[in-house]
Structure formats: structure tokens, C-alpha cells
Structure 1
Amino acid sequence: MSDESTAAESVTDESAKSERSRSITLGDVEVIRVVEWQGAFIPARGIVPDSAPETWQDNADWLAPDHWQPESDAAVVALQTWVLRSGGRTVLVDTGVGNGRERPGSPRFHHWQGDFLGPLAQAGIRPEDVDVVVNTHIHGDHVGWNTVDSDGRWVPTFPNATYLIPEADDFHFGPRNAYGRGLREDDRLIYEDSIAPVHQAGQAVLWEGAHRIDENLLLESAPGHTPGSSVLRLASGGDRAVFVGDLLHSPVQILRPDCNSCFCMDAGQAVASRRRILERAAAERELVVPAHFGGAGAVEVRREGPDFTLGRWPFADLA
């Protein structure tokens, strides 16, 4: 997600503030959800432009209030990080917006001041404890806490971590491709404050195609949202999950997988990746874990004839 709209004022979910982290165990892997922010974002069909009004209205009984506010027609989203404790290591999946960033093209995130390290600490995770950082793609709300300001200089937040960054995104958004061909000033700023310092510290590892983290965790390319968009598959014991980044912004896209978000760069590739990942998730009973779902955050996906439907929300069971 990369906010380029000023529509719809932020409405923070107060219940989310009081319970910023919850965990479940999948096989031998502990999965902890750390929420940076949750609330109303932009209009529903602003974030998923091709979705029909009736899709939202016909599913209002479960979309509201966690994913949609019918009275304002605002989509509800979360900024969150998924923390995995796997094989004796701590892995972060995406790092949110970050504080004090210059984001003139994204008014909502411009000079953002939020609390992320606090909830992370409440979950028992110090920056020096993190072994691996996964950036599913290079958008400002997925790489922001890669770095922190140290005496006017951006330095890696997690000093002992390896940062796994998709090669295709590093090329597209970095200096080799003139920072996204210079189409958005924010792309250069994001790269310079959140990606370049990681390279300079020698902590960045670029990968393409697939990259195995350990026996439980495998990164795979799923392009379309960005050139290097990726998913992280978890397989441990009999449990399966797939962390899909921005492949999905709303549960409506599970019901209507041909509907892209307004932020997808290659519409055809994004649809193909979404359908492929959802097909496999339904077939292999993988828990689908998007970056921005509000409410319980992660959901089981099932086949219903030629379509998909939603199953259980495991994190809701912790309420």
C-alpha cells in the first residue's frame, strides 16, 4: 500500500491500541501480530476501484466494522508487522511506515509519528534480537522501520539482522532505474532513507525467484503489485500459512480476485499472482496473512465452486 490520497480522515481503532500484539503457534513457529495503526483509510472503491458497490453491501454483515465503515464508505486497514519465531531466530515480515519521513506524495504518511518499537517491546522483541527482516516489497509502509534516525543519519533499526529485499524492487525503485524512473518523488525518498542505509551497513541481501530462510520459511516472487512483490510461505508440521504482503488489501479481493488495489503497478500480473496464491492456499489449507487486513488480520480461504470464500479467522479466537 502506498497512500497517495487525502480522502477520508484517519480514525484510530481504540480497541487495537489496547491489544497491539497477539500470537498463535503454527507447527514449531510462533506468529506474533504487531499493529502499528488500524483505522479508516480511503473510500472502499478508492482502494479497490473495480469492486462493485453491491459486493461491499451484500457482505456488510461481516465486512463491518473491521474492514469497512458503511456510513462513511471507508475501507478499514491496518499497518502491521508479522513476527515469526522460527528455528531459534526472530523474523520480521515488513516494517511499517517509520517515523519522521519526508513523504510529500503520501500526505497521510508525511512526517508520520507512530509507535512501533513500543508494541514490539511489549511482545518481548528488542531491535537487537531480530535476526531477519523480510520486506515483501518496497513501498513506504512496508520498509519504514528498516531504519531510524541517529543524530541526523538513517541507520538500520535492527543492527544484527539480515534484510531480505526483492532484487526486482531494489532495481526498479533504486538508482539503477532512476528511482522508479523518476515518476514519484516519494520513491527516491523511500529508497534513500529506508533501503540505501541497509545496503551501506552491509546488511541487505537481494534475492529473486525464491529464497529459503530456514526449514519452515520460504520466500517466493509474486509480481504485479510491484515488480518484486513477494509472499512468504510457512510450512511446519501439519500447519501452513502464506504471508501475502499487498497481494490483498481487502477481503473483498478474496471474493473478487480479479479486482486489484489502486496501488498495483501491473494489473495483469497482480491478478495472476493473486489467483495463483489463493488457489494454492485453498488447496493446501494455507492460512492467508495479508499486510493490511483489519480486524483479526489473517483468514482461512476455501473453494466454493469456481469462487473463493472466507473461513475461520484464527486471531479472532484470541479475543
Structure 2
Amino acid sequence: MDSDIFERYLLPAGELDYWERIRDNAAPGTFNHGAHEDSTIPLLEAGLVDQVRDGDQIADNMRLVPLPGHTVGQLGVEIDTTDGKLLLCGDALHSPAQVWMPEWTSVFCADKETARETRRSLLRQADGTILLPSHIRHSAGMRIVEGDDGFQPVFIDSA
């Protein structure tokens, strides 16, 4: 594996394009709480960004998968291990409550209907996969079990 990958930032090309178009059409710092302006622009200007796309293999046993909706170009990282798959799913599952109620969206979702469909698809396909959402608390991750009453999370102890 190339050691330089740890000195780089991988940004989804579709996501970056979206924020750059908004930046071109708005006063800097006035959209998305200024996060693009204060966090992404300096990395771009320093030449530390590699743009990535759905399906890109970023390391051995690690590939990017599309999880749009919360943001336009959100990508997750799927990791194949000898014990199964892990999926760093970012804000596709913004809260564990969305396992029970996948139709719930965050006020920050860019495209609420796409976010709902991405979440439903993620939950349907999660059989055996350990999901690692960004905002899960008091747990290392979760597995999803589908039953007669819908989806249920099985939380994994972080200890």
C-alpha cells in the first residue's frame, strides 16, 4: 500500500463538484455553515486532495460505494475482512432511530427522498454487514436484522 495515502484527503468528485458550483453562485462562507470554505478549500489550495468516485478501490479490500441523499455525492467505504464486511456509512444512517424509521430524515439532508431510498436499500442489503455510521454513540457499530416488524439494530459493544 502506498504510504502517501495517509497524507492525502479523498473527496468524492460529485460532492466536490456540487460544493464548487454552489460556491461559484454564493458568497463564500454563507452556505453549509461555512464548512466548505474553512475545511475543504484550504486542502484544495494545498494540493492535498485526490478526487474519488463510486467503485474506486482505495486500498486492499476497501472500495467506495454510493450513499447519496444526505449529501449529493456521499460515498461509503466498504471493507472486506476475513470475518465479513464493514461499511463506514457516514450520514446515510444519521441516527440509530432511522433503522426503525428509515423514512425519517435529518434537516441537513440535501435530497430527502434519495436519502430515504438510500437508507432503505442500505438496510435491505446489510445482511451480515457491520454498519459504522458517523453519529452512533455508546456502540462500535451495528448489524441489521430484518423481521416482521421491519428492521432492528443489533448493537456491537465498543469495549
TM-score (norm: length of structure 2): 0.87
Give the corresponding residue for 2:88: 243
**Structure 1 position 181, deviation (Å):** 4.3
Matched, 1:163 2:6: no
Letter in 2 for 1:164: L
User: Which of structure 1's runs of 4+ aligned residues deviate more than 4 A?
Assistant: none
**Structure 1 position 210, deviation (Å):** 2.2
Letter in 2 for 1:249: H
Give the corresponding residue for 1:287: 130
Letter in 2 for 1:290: P
Task: Tell whether the 8 Å contact from 1:290 to 1:297 is kept in structure 2 after alignment.
Answer: no
Q: What's the % identity of the aligned pairs?
A: 23
Counterpart CA distance in 1 for 2:40 and 2:55 is 20
Residues 241 and 294 of structure 1: is their aligned pair in 2 closer, same or farther, counting only changes over 3 Å? same
Letter in 2 for 1:256: M
What stretches of structure 2 of length at least 5 have no aligned partner?
none
Counterpart selection for 1:172 from 3, 10, 18: 18
Any idea what SS the aligned residue of 1:202 has? coil
Task: Tell whether the 8 Å contact from 1:253 to 1:259 is kept in structure 2 after alignment.
Answer: yes
Equivalences, count: 158
Matching of residues 52-131 of structure 1 within 5 Å: 131=5
Counterpart CA distance in 2 for 1:286 and 1:234 is 10
TM-score (norm: length of structure 1): 0.45
Task: Please provide the CA RMSD for this pair.
Answer: 2.4
**Structure 1 position 243, deviation (Å):** 0.7
What stretches of structure 1 of length at least 5 have no aligned partner?
1-86, 90-129, 133-160
**Structure 1 position 219, deviation (Å):** 1.1
Matching of residues 1-319 of structure 1 within 5 Å: 131-132=5-6, 161-174=7-20, 177-179=21-23, 181-182=25-26, 185-187=30-32, 189-282=34-127, 285-305=128-148, 307-315=150-158, 318=159
